[in-house]
Amino acid sequence: MTSRFWFLTYNIILIPLLSVVVKILASYHSKINESIEKRKGLWERLEEAVSKRDWQKPLIWFHVASAGELLQAQPLIVRCIAEGAECAVTYSSVNAYHWLQRPDQTETQNLLVTEFLPVDRIYNVRRLLGLLQPSRLVWVSYDLWPNLVWETYRQGIPQSLVSGIIHAGSLRTSFFAGRSFYHSLYECLEQILTVSE
């Protein structure tokens, strides 16, 4: 019941509101505008990358917010590849995009996919899950995208949160609605590995 309430609230109220806010902010913040621009052609790039997939190997999908979370994920990514998995990395921030473009990024050269995460609309989420068909989705730190969390859970794909953090005074803990909303996300995760208690 609670998850259904938050699903409807998020998709009917919050996503349209956030879309307007992001468009307004993009006119003032070059990084937000750049991340919108870099998402153009995203589906074609994803389809091209996935066309090279070895379907005999499991695909571990990592989602990071930015470059810092990408650095946290790198040891796990390297280990997964060494153990025979293919890995995909999606990110939210243009900083991660720029980090991955650096020529000295040898740890990420063997990734099947490195791409911005499409906007968190349910049709994008279903299309992306159908395209990647991951064996597991690993969230790094805090950047959970609700529709992706809920739909991944609905499809029975295991999810983990690694290096999980909640800052003091976070909306996730400071008032009832925040706790209830984030509970609807965290209950979908098979593993939650935190940085500290």
**pLDDT tens digits for range 145-168:** 999 999 999 999 999 988 877 666
Q: What is the DSSP letter of 191?
A: E
**pLDDT tens digits for range 41-89:** 999 999 999 999 999 999 999 999 988 899 899 999 999 999 999 999 9
Number of neighbours of residue 130 by Cβ within 10 angstroms: 9
pLDDT band at 26; cut points 50, 70, 90:
confident
Q: In the chain, which residue ranges form alpha helices assigned H by DSSP?
A: 2-9, 15-26, 30-38, 42-50, 67-82, 94-101, 122-132, 146-154, 171-174, 176-186
This prediction's pTM: 0.91
- The average confidence (pLDDT) of the chain is 89
Kindly tell me if the per-residue pLDDT of 191 is higher than 90.
Answer: no
**pLDDT tens digits for range 96-126:** 998 888 877 776 778 999 999 999 999 999 9
Domain CATH code at residue 121? 3.40.50.11720
pLDDT band at 141; cut points 50, 70, 90:
confident
Kindly tell me if the per-residue pLDDT of 197 is higher than 60.
Answer: no
Whole-angstrom Cα distance, residue 93 to residue 97? 7
Grouping H, G, I as helix, E, B as strand and the rest as coil, residue 197 is coil
Whole-angstrom Cα distance, residue 119 to residue 95? 17
Dihedral, 37, 42, 45, 49 alpha carbons, nearest 10: 130
| Count: domains in the chain | 1
Q: Which domain holds residue 46?
A: 2-194
> What percent of the chain has a predicted confidence (pLDDT) above 70?
92
Cα dihedral sign, 137-140-141-145: negative
Cβ-contact 116, 90 below 8 angstroms = yes
Give the per-residue pLDDT at 28: 85
Give the per-residue pLDDT at 152: 98
Give me the count of residues in the chain.
197
Kindly tell me if the per-residue pLDDT of 176 is higher than 90.
Answer: no
